[in-house]
């Protein structure tokens, strides 16, 4: 058995976890970061590296991969011990610290833990008509726009991802058609209007009932009110959301409400040495934004510092005074 000893363990290497790692170093802690994905950046790296993010302070617009790159550089100042492609499966708290067991047999011993696991493990919701087309023209994510150049693209969905991808693919694709089963959308109103003002064709109260082609996708059947038409398509993007699973975390004795970890104003869970920050957290007035997660990370680290060292103060002083 391998034993890793650290002051602070962060579970989740997305934007909130990376900022928490940096801040742990700012507070003088040794820090380890575990994530079930093989790369840093969480959902952004896995699904939205090309997406323009508009709600991060100081950046009118920043591409997902560029934000992650900056956070990794910033976190490097803390010299974090990254334990990637591993899942935290057990947690045991005692008077002196917390022990977290990973699925490869490693035990991580820490003075405190911060959970920044986003929505937990996630898998895309399947397209009912997808058959065996995945990888042959059907995809769930758009990590790169270049492969869609001069293609007829059909995007299925009505959320932020569907509309964001429609905005970015419209200038380079031959055509973009967005198909949604309702006439109301979940995406940000500004992005919806941007798509409406573009050349993107929007078909509502509709479903993709079949995908057609040979070795790759050539067209899709779209059904509206029982009538089916065929649209040319060499690429289909199914942006139907995700099935989230908190996995073993649900069995750690942490207060979980509707797939979210309940925290108090200090970002502490019902366990004295376990904190949480980012999208996984829940409390009255919670807003799930990356910008909010950054603030929660700083709050969690500063309060975890006192759990690690009772003689420390919650407020660290201003970074400009360091």
Q: How far apart are CA 93 and CA 203, in angstroms?
A: 53
Who's near 91: CB < 8 A, 6+ residues apart? 98, 99, 100, 101, 113, 249, 252, 253, 254, 274
pLDDT tens-place string over residues 53-68: 888 999 999 988 999 9
Residue 193's φ and ψ, nearest 5 degrees, are -65, -35
Say whether 88 counts as a known binding-site residue: yes
Residues of the chain with CATH 3.50.50.60: 3-122+242-321, 126-238
Q: From the centroid of its chain, how far is CA 261?
A: 16
Is the predicted pLDDT of residue 320 greater than 70, yes or no? Answer: no
Say whether 19 counts as a known binding-site residue: no
Say whether 152 counts as a known binding-site residue: no
pLDDT score recorded for residue 123:
77
CATH architecture of 126-238: 3-Layer(bba) Sandwich (3.50)
Say whether 52 counts as a known binding-site residue: no
Is the predicted pLDDT of residue 119 greater than 80, yes or no? Answer: no
Say whether 216 counts as a known binding-site residue: no
Tell which residue, 253, 217, 262, has the closest CA to residue 235.
Answer: 217
Locate 49 and state its tokens: 């590296």
pLDDT score recorded for residue 319:
67
Q: Residues 143, 212, 147, CA angle at the centre, nearest 5°?
A: 25
Say whether 242 counts as a known binding-site residue: no
3-122+242-321: CATH, from 2.40.50.140, 3.40.225.10, 3.50.50.60, 2.40.30.10: 3.50.50.60
Say whether 16 counts as a known binding-site residue: yes
Is the predicted pLDDT of residue 312 greater than 70, yes or no? Answer: yes
pTM tops 0.85: no
């Amino acid at each position: 058995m391998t034993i890793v000893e650290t002051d602070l363990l962060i579970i989740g290497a997305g934007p909130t976890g990376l900022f928490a790692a940096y801040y742990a170093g700012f507070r003088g802690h040794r820090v380890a970061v575990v994530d079930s994905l093989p790369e840093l950046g969480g959902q952004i790296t896995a699904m939205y590296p090309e997406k323009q993010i508009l709600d991060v302070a100081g950046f009118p617009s920043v591409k997902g991969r560029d934000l992650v790159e900056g956070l990794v550089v910033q976190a490097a100042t803390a010299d974090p011990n990254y334990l990637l492609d591993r899942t935290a499966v057990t947690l045991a708290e005692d008077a002196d610290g917390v022990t977290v067991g990973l699925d490869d047999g490693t035990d991580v011993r820490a003075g405190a833990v911060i959970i920044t696991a986003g929505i937990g493990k996630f898998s895309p919701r399947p397209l009912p008509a997808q058959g065996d087309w995945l990888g042959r023209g059907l995809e769930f994510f758009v990590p790169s726009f270049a492969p869609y150049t001069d293609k007829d693209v059909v995007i299925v969905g009505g959320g932020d991802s569907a509309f964001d991808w429609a905005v970015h693919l419209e200038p380079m694709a031959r055509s973009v058609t967005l198909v949604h089963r309702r006439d109301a959308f979940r995406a940000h109103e500004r992005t919806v209007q941007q798509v409406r003002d573009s050349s993107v064709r929007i078909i509502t109260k509709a479903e993709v009932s079949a995908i057609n082609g040979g070795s790759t996708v050539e067209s899709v059947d779209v059904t509206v009110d029982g009538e089916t038409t065929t649209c040319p398509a060499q690429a289909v993007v199914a942006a139907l959301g995700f099935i989230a699973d908190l996995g073993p975390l649900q069995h750690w004795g942490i207060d979980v409400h509707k797939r979210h970890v309940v925290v108090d104003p200090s970002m502490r869970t019902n366990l004295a040495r376990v904190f949480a920050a980012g999208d996984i957290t829940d409390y009255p007035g919670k807003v799930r934004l990356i910008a909010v997660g950054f603030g929660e990370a700083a709050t969690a680290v500063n309060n975890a510092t006192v759990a690690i060292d009772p003689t420390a103060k919650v407020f660290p002083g201003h970074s400009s005074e360091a």
